[in-house]
Structure 1
Amino acid sequence: MLPIERQQRIIDELTINGRVIVTELVSLCHVSQETIRRDLNQLEKRGLLQRSHGGAVLPKRQAANIQGNIRAINEYELSFRQRINEHVDAKMAIAKRALDFISVGDCLLLDSSTTCFYLARQLPDIELTVLTNSLRIVQTLAARGSIRTICLGGEYSDRYEDFHGIVAEQPLKEFQINKIFFSCSSLGNDGYLREGNEHNAHLKQQMILAAERKHLLMDSSKFLRPSFARICHYRDVDFLITDQLKDKELEQELAWNGVNIIDCSQRSQSMQLIKN
């Protein structure tokens, strides 16, 4: 990781959490404590943070502005009930295609996106273990006799109909998760997947780290548009399943970074769900 990339990562972590700790940054960036301290000193000289014991915090004025922006973004973000009626055909097509990547006996992790809700509705009643922080998905799978459903608890959000926070993250360390299926608010010009609020972004970071295979479910309305809190770079994703990808330059960049693109608008021989 180049110094400029590392320092941007530090700023992103600071923006999401309000503070950073040297020891955590060492693990995150895979460098020495001395390197991280030099980065923090340089960022402090530029007025981007304020050093504190063992780490750094945001400058007071910047922290106040960010909190104001968070409130504005959260107020602007559509609720789950609103989002569930957007781009329905695209989400249904993506969900159906995602079934091709699910096998009997899998331990799956589904986030609380509306696209994953459509995927949960179409899951066949086969032997699966499904972990999710979505109340809607838990309710959807309750009637499936062969699917073991585990709800990631935590603080409940009525707006997003999901759970988040440390309590939701804790169980992720206890399971061997084969595959995650998730979505996000946007894939930006900088190559990073983002969410509209910092709570969902942080939980999805931990979800992605916990799973062996990463499947991003994203409809075409979310490409190259801005959003707030960073989740990860697209190079951390194994498969992108989308209704269509018209930007050839982005498609090439994704392929160069090892992302397998599954475009539902293109005719392709469908894989079969493994049943035995």
Structure 2
Amino acid sequence: MLPVERHRFITEVLSQRGRVLVQEVAELCQISLETARRDLTLLEKRGLLLRSHGGAVFVNQHEIEKHYVPAIEQGESFRDRSNQAPDQKTRIAKRALALINPGDCLLLDSSSTSWFLARQLPDIQLVVLTNSLHIIQTLAAKANVKTIGLGGEYSAKYEDFIGVLAEKLLTEFVINKLFFSCHGISHEGGIRESNEHHARLKQQMLLSSEHKILLADSSKFGRRSFARICHYREIDTLITDTLEDEEFRQELAWSNVNVIEVAPVKHKQVSLKTQRGDPFSTS
């Protein structure tokens, strides 16, 4: 039973019984007591139940329907994300081009940063796999780029494809380079996503790819996120606009992660006030 299915099941049991014990949750869902406790704690944070000694009690069904958000819907929509930090994402995407060679088989996730990369890709001999509808549409105009869409369940909110079919198709290819992003990255939690469905798909992407490149602007650092994708040591390269945390930089170095920063170029200001004889002088 998937976590999202399990959470819905628990709320339904509570609506019928009024209360449920941790032991009952573990037995009904065939999970460990520790997992059952975590599920109840998470559902309490969402306002769907109240924890009690050894279990949980019912919250009004109207409130459950009002506030319940399936885990697949956690996170911001693609449209919202694509409008965040466009300058940083553009610089990151342009720097990533240096890692791409003609003949490569690339895998791009459905992040907005990967979409910025797709827009920058030259029209050269490439094979690109992606689960992003926007990336498929963008690459359709590039005659020399062969685009393969990962099938699966379509998400209108994220404008991408997810699920078992998308994960299974990844096993059929030899992928040279994966370019992906995340919702958050931190010292303690590693690289994380806003929901478990995208986290699980990205885990399979990592397993299927030879070289793993994380594209993450500085707003991602220190952000708390719901589902774990991987540890830093599982990626090869991080491309970001700036990394100010020196302790974190050292941790990445210990994990053999190559960090590439693409901070904006600071242009020297030139004063219009010059020596006597300045042709722009109005005197």
Q: TM-score when scaled to structure 2?
A: 0.73
Alignment match of 2:196 (pick from 198, 203, 206): 198
Deviation string, structure 1 residues 109-163 (Cα, Å, up to 9, x no partner): 0000000000000100000000000000000001111000000010000110000
**1:235 and 2:233 aligned:** yes
Alignment match of 1:169 (pick from 161, 167, 170): 167
Indicate the larger mover: 74-83 or 130-139: 74-83
CA 1:62/1:129 → structure 2, altered by over 3 Å: closer, same or farther?
A: same
Alignment match of 1:79 (pick from 77, 80, 90): 77
**1:183 and 2:181 aligned:** yes
CA 1:157/1:151 → structure 2, altered by over 3 Å: closer, same or farther?
A: same
Query: Is the Cα–Cα contact under 8 Å of residues 113 and 184 in structure 1 kept in the other structure?
Result: yes
Give the AA of the match of 2:208: A
Aligned ranges for residues 85-164 of structure 1 at < 5 Å? 85-164=83-162
Structure 2 counterpart SS, 1:207: helix
Question: CA offset at residue 71 of structure 1?
Answer: 2.2
CA 1:17/1:205 → structure 2, altered by over 3 Å: closer, same or farther?
A: farther
Higher CA-based Rg: 2
Q: Counterpart of 1:66?
A: 42
Question: Unaligned stretches of 5+ in structure 1?
Answer: 1-13, 20-45, 268-276
Query: Is the Cα–Cα contact under 8 Å of residues 189 and 225 in structure 1 kept in the other structure?
Result: no
Cα separation, 1, equivalents of 2:71 and 2:245: 27
CA 1:155/1:122 → structure 2, altered by over 3 Å: closer, same or farther?
A: same
CA 1:186/1:211 → structure 2, altered by over 3 Å: closer, same or farther?
A: same
Cα separation, 2, equivalents of 1:251 and 1:130: 31
Cα separation, 2, equivalents of 1:98 and 1:108: 12
CA RMSD of aligned residues (A): 2.9
Aligned residues, how many? 227
Query: Is the Cα–Cα contact under 8 Å of residues 113 and 181 in structure 2 kept in the other structure?
Result: yes
Deviation string, structure 1 residues 12-33 (Cα, Å, up to 9, x no partner): xx968969xxxxxxxxxxxxxx
CA 1:220/1:258 → structure 2, altered by over 3 Å: closer, same or farther?
A: same
Give the AA of the match of 1:170: K
Give the AA of the match of 2:159: E
Q: TM-score when scaled to structure 1?
A: 0.74
Cα separation, 1, equivalents of 2:74 and 2:141: 34
CA 1:17/1:174 → structure 2, altered by over 3 Å: closer, same or farther?
A: farther
Deviation string, structure 1 residues 59-113 (Cα, Å, up to 9, x no partner): 6564355357482876662211111111000000000000000000000000000
Cα separation, 2, equivalents of 1:57 and 1:17: 17
Question: CA offset at residue 265 of structure 1?
Answer: 1.8
Cα separation, 2, equivalents of 1:76 and 1:94: 25
Query: Is the Cα–Cα contact under 8 Å of residues 15 and 66 in structure 1 kept in the other structure?
Result: no
Question: Unaligned stretches of 5+ in structure 2?
Answer: 8-21, 47-67, 266-283
CA 1:205/1:16 → structure 2, altered by over 3 Å: closer, same or farther?
A: farther
Cα separation, 2, equivalents of 1:206 and 1:18: 22
Give the AA of the match of 2:153: E
Cα separation, 2, equivalents of 1:57 and 1:216: 35
Question: CA offset at residue 189 of structure 1?
Answer: 2.9
Give the AA of the match of 2:254: W
Query: Is the Cα–Cα contact under 8 Å of residues 131 and 161 in structure 2 kept in the other structure?
Result: yes
Cα separation, 2, equivalents of 1:212 and 1:16: 31
CA 1:57/1:116 → structure 2, altered by over 3 Å: closer, same or farther?
A: farther
Question: CA offset at residue 188 of structure 1?
Answer: 2.0
Indicate the larger mover: 136-145 or 185-194: 185-194
Structure 2 counterpart SS, 1:71: coil
Cα separation, 2, equivalents of 1:74 and 1:211: 24
Structure 2 counterpart SS, 1:81: helix
Structure 1 counterpart SS, 2:136: helix
Query: Is the Cα–Cα contact under 8 Å of residues 16 and 229 in structure 1 kept in the other structure?
Result: no
Question: CA offset at residue 205 of structure 1?
Answer: 0.4
Give the AA of the match of 1:188: S
Runs of 4+ in 1 over 4 A off after TM superposition: 14-19, 51-62, 67-70, 72-76
Cα separation, 1, equivalents of 2:151 and 2:188: 32
